[in-house]
Amino acid sequence: MKTPVKNRLEWTVFGVSLLLIACVAGWLVTQMVGTDQPSVRLEVTPAESRRASQGYDLAVDVVNTGDVTAESVRIEVTVPSAGGPERRDAEIEYVPYRSKRRVWVTFDADPSTSRPTARVLSYHER
């Protein structure tokens, strides 16, 4: 087989390109290994809160540890308060697999003085 005639720059570009493609392909193959039954696995966790102009904003982290992207994820967040629990719904357009999304939900009561809870109501598998 005849060796192509190339200068050093061209061989360098080829070498780096080959390495890049091999790394990308290798990474994709490792991501595929061990995925027998791909599914969405969502974990919802209330995080920090902050004072807003009207009430309080509570951050809620939605983590998808599964291997399938979740779309139209609806969550319910509850903050206990003296006048009864405050419930809010929020929707996230999509949470890619093995990724995290953060949504901010507004409450009248201060979430930092109680133990807020959150749960997933529904989602679509992509």
Listed residue (116, 41, 115, 119) closest to 74, CA to CA: 119
> Rule CB under 8 A: which of 9-68 touch other proteins?
9-10, 13-14, 16-18, 20-21, 24-25, 27-29, 31-32, 35, 38, 67-68
At closest approach, how far in Å is the CB of 53 from other proteins?
Answer: 23
- Using CB under 8 A as the binding rule, whether residue 69 contacts other proteins is answered as yes
User: Using CB under 8 A as the criterion, what x/- string covers residues 70-109 for binding other proteins?
Assistant: ------------------------x-xxxx----------
In the complex with other proteins, the residue whose CB is nearer, 29 or 82, is 29
Cα–Cα distance, 17 to 35 (Å, whole number): 28
- What is the size of the binding site for other proteins (CB under 8 A)? 35
- Contacts with other proteins, residue ranges (CB under 8 A): 1-10, 13-14, 16-18, 20-21, 24-25, 27-29, 31-32, 35, 38, 67-69, 94, 96-99, 126
